[in-house]
Amino acid sequence: MRSELHLVHLDEHLIAIDKPSGLLSVPGRGPDKQDCAAARVQAAYPGALVVHRLDQATSGLLLFARHLGAQQALSRAFEQRAVHKVYVAEVWGDPGEQGLIDLPLLADWPNRPRQKVDLAQGRPSQTRWHRLATDGLRSRLHLAPLTGRAHQLRVHLLALGHPIVGDALYDPDRPAPRLHLHAERLSLPHPSGHPLSLQSPCPF
């Protein structure tokens, strides 16, 4: 098992790492899917607990708790939307200056693990975005998900008509070496009570 850890923050309550693209957050099915961020963190810091996940193809900030009380506090912060997340994405085309995507999402069961927009049965899902730069062919965006659905950012940008560069699942006809989606910033209430802001430089 490869054991590299890109630590961003470490204290007695939590661990934050910079997860590389291509690494699972938690173990998958089968012996070839056991190397993951959780396994690497737990090898270095026994007892570390999963708080949230990133898609395998997404890079960036990933949190782990160092004890049950911290896990409960962090999980509660995510549930209460007290965690502010900012992602960087590069998308095809130019969607404009800014906007709010408000489209409900549902698992596309016949085509798992894909998700889809479903106006009748989907779960409420919102993403704010604003453009950082564009050359007309591609645009760099900041994305702030207000909800935390599976594949939310990828499906929302696809529905907007501007899929994320390198999205092999939702835009397979335009391959790239990696998905251009990175969890750049996290702002949250630390389990000890004070605010904590974390940042990871975008690698693309």
Predicted pLDDT at 7:
96
Q: Give residue-wise pLDDT tens across range 58-74.
A: 999 999 999 999 999 99
Single out the catalytic residue among 11, 18, 35, 55: 55
Predicted pLDDT at 51:
97
**Tokens (6 digits) for 64:** 């782990």
Mean pLDDT of 72-100: 97
Mean pLDDT of 75-102: 97
CB 130 within 8 A of CB 98: yes
Tally of CB atoms within 10 A around 161: 10
**Tokens (6 digits) for 40:** 């690497």
DSSP class of residue 193? Answer: S
DSSP class of residue 110? Answer: G
Predicted pLDDT at 28:
85
Distance CA 110, CA 182 (A): 28
Predicted pLDDT at 202:
97
Predicted pLDDT at 30:
82
**Tokens (6 digits) for 111:** 């085509």
CATH assignment of 7-81, among 3.50.50.60, 3.40.50.300, 3.30.2350.10, 3.30.930.10: 3.30.2350.10
Q: Give residue-wise pLDDT tens across range 1-57.
A: 455 789 999 999 999 999 999 999 999 888 888 999 999 999 999 999 999 999 999
Which amino acid type is present at position 146?
L
CATH superfamily of 86-181: Pseudouridine synthase (3.30.2350.10)
Q: Where are the beta strands (DSSP E) in the chain?
A: 7-10, 14-19, 49-50, 59-65, 84-92, 98-102, 105-107, 115-117, 126-134, 138-145, 181-189, 195-199
Domain 7-81 shares a fold with domain 86-181: yes
The answer to whether residue 108 is catalytic is no
Helical H runs in the chain? Answer: 37-44, 68-79, 152-159
Q: Give residue-wise pLDDT tens across range 133-180.
A: 999 999 999 999 999 999 999 999 999 999 999 999 999 999 999 999
Question: Residue ranges of the domains in the chain?
Answer: 7-81, 86-181
Predicted pLDDT at 25:
97
